[in-house]
Chain A
Amino acid sequence: MTGRSTVVRRVMVRPEAGAILGALLLWTIFAYLGGGNGFLTVAGTAGILEVAAQIGIVGTTVALLMIAGQYDLSVGSTVGATGMVLALGLSEFHLQVWAAVMLALTLGLGVGLVNGLLVIKTGLPSFIVTLASFYVLRGGTIAVTRAMTGLTVVGGLDEYTKNDPFAMLFMARFGDFRVAIVWWLLLAAASAYVLHRTRMGNWIFATGGNASAARMVGVPTNRVLVVLFMLTAFSAALLAVLQVLAFNGADALRGQQKEFEAITAAVIGGTLLTGGYGTAIGPIFGALTLAIVQLGIFFAGIDTDWYKVMVGSLLLLAVGFNESIRRLAMRVRR
């Protein structure tokens, strides 16, 4: 093998290689198709990053959990539930903004704790456990909100959040760019650090790669999983806080399909569905890919009904591509 092809191979077998290439390629295509309509403007770029942040905040942590071999289908419902707790805390209980935000984030951690404990105590697949919480949280949020307010939507929160310095942490804008983008990149950077630099990261890979072997060599796999479930739910709560404060209201139905978008971003980003393989950088580009397609279609003048068709096709392509890359990485070298 020549030096050059080794370098190329080394880059190509990175799990996130496909997502980076894909995002670049799609961006180029839509820049060509929709460049004249504003895709390339600052506002267009801010829009892409905003959508990517909405997907990526949850996608980043869901990817970590998937690398550890588990799923969280309840993140979308958690967005709805924690957002509503924040909104009701402000409008019904007149809490301080910081107190209401802390309440929402704590509830998020609690949801994750329950999910995690249920998974490790019952030994049931997390797919089923979190599917159950997906229903329970969504139904509960709608029922409680309607019982308290008669509606499933709470609005007009700006009277509580206006000029609140704590609220600005989640509401600030820099020109066209919302602060959610910063939160996303911070969370992704923290995830990357944890996954690739720390002991916890090694344990995440080991837990997803071979849980029984990991236990045998002393990895506290249960603790790893509970922490990760708390992290996914916490990121959902963070997204909810950002949405509620930015849009001045909460909707009990908020966050629907977030669970699938997060998994899609993770998979396009090179996360292996069966665990044990992936990166924290990949899901950033997975989220960007979805955002580029979503806004690209709009700017290119294509009927946005086709968005999901494209996402589905992309997902299939990405899985196929990542699988072949993984096989290349696994090939015995002599």
Chain B
Amino acid sequence: MTAGTPVIELREASKFFGHVVALERVSMSVRPGEVVCLLGDNGAGKSTLIKLLSGVFHPDEGSLWVDGSLARFGSPRDAVAAGIATVYQDLALFPLMTISRNFIVGTEPARGRGMLAAIRFREADTLVRQNLLEIGIEVRDTSDLVGTLSGGERQTLAIARAEHIGARLLILDEPTSALGVKEAAIVLRNVLRARAKGLAIVFITHNVHHAYAVGDRFLFLSRGRVLGVYDRDALTVDEMTRLMGGGAELEDLTNELEQLRRQGESDGRGAAGNGGGGTDVAGGGGAVRGAMGTDAGGSAARAQE
């Protein structure tokens, strides 16, 4: 399943906004027929990563590779031309345009080239009908406005369109987050269908269950860094949930809090005259404990130094 050259690959890519490090040395790759799930909390750098892949941003450091060769997208249009299609959450469609026109924006089938080329509307309509049929949406009329479709229908239309545009790599940004269970299932089924067709897919989500349902590999981001990349059989949903929350960092925080709690208890006992444990604890450990304890303990620790 994961054989072959990656459709897209980032190597040690970093992106900075002024002093803010949005992404730091992130490496990832997606092969044909593979669903890579991108997971992470808000602010983890998921959006920035998508924008690197889709040509909105350039990596400030590191490199982008398409089909095994070094690439540099001048604009999203270059990415589209390279077969990379992105479905942005809530941003993908034009509610006041017809279903047909929505479907073909940016890739209008036309006679000739350039701005003034006439769109082949008949071809567009056939195309839209075929795609919608395949994806399981039934529309009366492709000249209805997209604003008249339900949320799930819109998302599915957006995916169908991206598939049509890109057909090689689909980047799906939170495609299920605003949907009910039934409509989310339609979307997930379509992700698997696209995967079976041999498309490479980057699936961004908050929802570990949705990710686990479709993902082959899982990349966890936290504060702009990769926490880890895991194959499907190396993970359970519980472990994913843990990693989602920031993984190791969350663990550190939990340990620290636990230590503080115990500390509070033993400090109470210490004040009552208890000598404490072994000698090594009374040494360096004591200073740390003091610094993390009450103000009095803190100043005592500083006084010792």
Contacts and interface: CB of A to CB of B under 8 A. Distances in A.
Given A202-B108, A216-B88, A227-B115, A332 B94 contact: no
A55 interface: no
Interface string A312-334: 00000000000000100111111
Nearest to B150: A332
Contacts of B97: 202, 205-206, 209, 276
Chain B contact-residue range equals 35 or more
The majority secondary structure among interface residues of chain B is loop
B110 A199 contact: yes
B280 to A, nearest CB: 58
B144 A218 contact: no
Given A202-B108, A205-B101, A216-B56, A276 B76 contact: no
Interface in A208-255: 209-210, 212-220, 223, 227
B148 A214 contact: no
B118 interface: yes
B86 A199 contact: no
Chain A contact-residue range equals 20 to 34
A213 B101 CA distance: 14
A71 interface: no
B96 A272 contact: yes
Contacts of A41: none
A277 B54 CA distance: 28
Nearest to B85: A217
B77 interface: yes
B303 interface: no
Interface string B83-123: 00010100111111100010011111010001111110000
The majority secondary structure among interface residues of chain A is helix
* A206, A210, A333, A334, most chain B CB atoms within 10 A: A210
A218 B77 contact: yes
B165 interface: yes
Contacts of A215: 75-76
B93 A332 contact: no
B305 to A, nearest CB: 54
A227 B116 CA distance: 12
Given A209-B96, A209-B97, A216-B76, A199 B117 contact: yes
B91 A212 contact: yes
B145 interface: yes
Contacts of A209: 94-97
Nearest to B94: A209
A326 B148 CA distance: 11
Interface in B138-188: 140, 144-145, 147-150, 165
Interface string A187-217: 0000000100111111101100110111111
A214 B105 contact: yes
B178 to A, nearest CB: 15
Contact of B105 (A206, A326, A331): A206
Contacts of B54: 216
A205 B119 CA distance: 14
B101 A210 contact: no
A216 B86 contact: yes
Contacts of B144: 333
B80 interface: yes
B171 to A, nearest CB: 10
Contacts of B76: 215-218
A23 to B, nearest CB: 24
A61 to B, nearest CB: 15
B148 A202 contact: no
Contacts of A329: 145, 147-148
A187 to B, nearest CB: 15
Nearest to A201: B119
B117 A218 contact: no
Nearest to A215: B76
B91 A216 contact: yes
A223 B144 CA distance: 28
Interface in A166-200: 194, 197-200
B76 to A, nearest CB: 5
A210 B91 contact: yes
Contacts of B110: 198-199
Contacts of B116: 194, 198-200
B94 A210 contact: yes
B56 A217 contact: no
A253 to B, nearest CB: 36
Nearest to A210: B94
Given A216-B54, A329-B147, A203 B94 contact: no
A217 B95 CA distance: 15
Given A209-B97, A329-B145, A198 B118 contact: yes
A198 B113 CA distance: 11
Given A202-B119, A205-B97, A223-B115, 7 more contacts: A199-B110, A206-B97, A217-B165, A218-B107, A227-B115, A276-B96, A329-B147
Interface of A: 194, 197-203, 205-206, 209-210, 212-220, 223, 227, 272, 276-277, 326, 329-334
Interface of B: 54, 56, 75-77, 80-81, 86, 88, 91-97, 101, 104-108, 110, 114-119, 140, 144-145, 147-150, 165
21 contacts: A198-B115, A199-B108, A199-B110, A199-B115, A199-B118, A200-B116, A202-B108, A205-B94, A206-B106, A210-B94, A216-B86, A217-B105, A218-B75, A218-B106, A219-B105, A219-B106, A223-B115, A276-B94, A276-B97, A330-B147, A332-B149
User: Nearest 9 CB-CB pairs, A to B?
Assistant: A217-B106, A218-B77, A209-B94, A218-B106, A330-B147, A200-B115, A218-B80, A277-B96, A199-B108
